[in-house]
Structure 1
């Protein structure tokens, strides 16, 4: 092979190195080969549910104003279910203070760190033993069936917290308003 032939071969190999990945990617998109399912959340998206302030509940309290909320409907066997979500809350580690828990229904005292509320009416979208994750503004984000694995909820919650970081000074702003008594600079 002559020198010019080797140079042409090198040039063709160079073009192939850059063109081959583009051709493979185009084929994957065109024929849907090797494309992941696209599922990222284990729960069901809940855009049709009303915001928390419109739920027919007695008073609802959250630990922090900017907290995400784990709300679970508990008409029976509340101690077992509450313990399950308490353990999940603890598994969040340092992010646990960004999440509050709300038990809806059931008798007895809630576990530490959880609030208790009751249904004043039963809405048509209510499903007993259901768990919802609500954003800091009270919008339902994800809903889970009663048999959901706690690890799936934990994965989703960690992902939501990672994708929606807390403002860097939020903890200090809350602490200074408590220490200062909330007196607006007086």
Structure 2
């Protein structure tokens, strides 16, 4: 006995409530993906809801300046603690050189990822030069181009300590009164976040 085959049912169009719910879901998905990006852009542009607290202790250099903008020509591929002295390397400068070495030592197993350096416009006095050779054998020394430094450091005539990334970009700047523990914490944080250097 032959059975009758019924023709397949044609798909019925979705009802209005189902269509509305689908559109609502699509709108929600778009808002959840695009909304945070739009909010972040508006917050950045108009500087609202930006946290006042910060996790670093120095002055953040966020304008893309490089070590060359300070008047220092170097090709260092590691993180660097650079002391700059636009005048003679007096007590403030010498204290920062000591601090830079202590910070590098304080990095422990990450010490090989950083160097310490001194850039001055004029030669250091012979007594201090001898002390540098004896006590700071790994200290890199550069000549500081004063006109470039005056422009790049915004006319600051005091000795300063800079953290520079392996690409030569200036990251943080510190004055001579900085506490070594603060710089060490900042550099450890940068090394933890960085895959370079």
Q: TM-score, normalised by structure 2?
A: 0.57
Q: Does 1:70 align with 2:70?
A: no
1:33-75: CA deviations, max 9, x gaps? xxx8531001111123621134323x4353xx2x111111133
Larger radius of gyration: 2
Per-residue deviation, 1:120: 2.2
1:41 corresponding residue in structure 2: 56
Indicate conservation of the 8 Å contact 2:160/2:175, yes or no: yes
Q: Tell me, which stretches of 5 or more residues in structure 1 are unaligned?
A: 1-35, 168-186
Structure number with greater CO (CA < 8 Å, separation at least 6) is 2
Matched residue pairs, number? 128
Structure 1 residues 166 and 138: CA distance shift in structure 2, 3 A: closer
Q: Tell me, which stretches of 5 or more residues in structure 2 are unaligned?
A: 1-50
Indicate conservation of the 8 Å contact 1:61/1:115, yes or no: no
Match 2:142 to one of 105, 110, 117: 117
2:7 corresponding residue in structure 1: none
Q: Distance in 1 between matches of 2:110 and 2:155?
A: 29
Match 2:191 to one of 141, 161, 164: 161
Structure 1 residues 135 and 104: CA distance shift in structure 2, 3 A: same
CA RMSD of aligned residues (A): 2.3
Structure 1 residues 45 and 144: CA distance shift in structure 2, 3 A: same
Q: Does 1:53 align with 2:52?
A: no
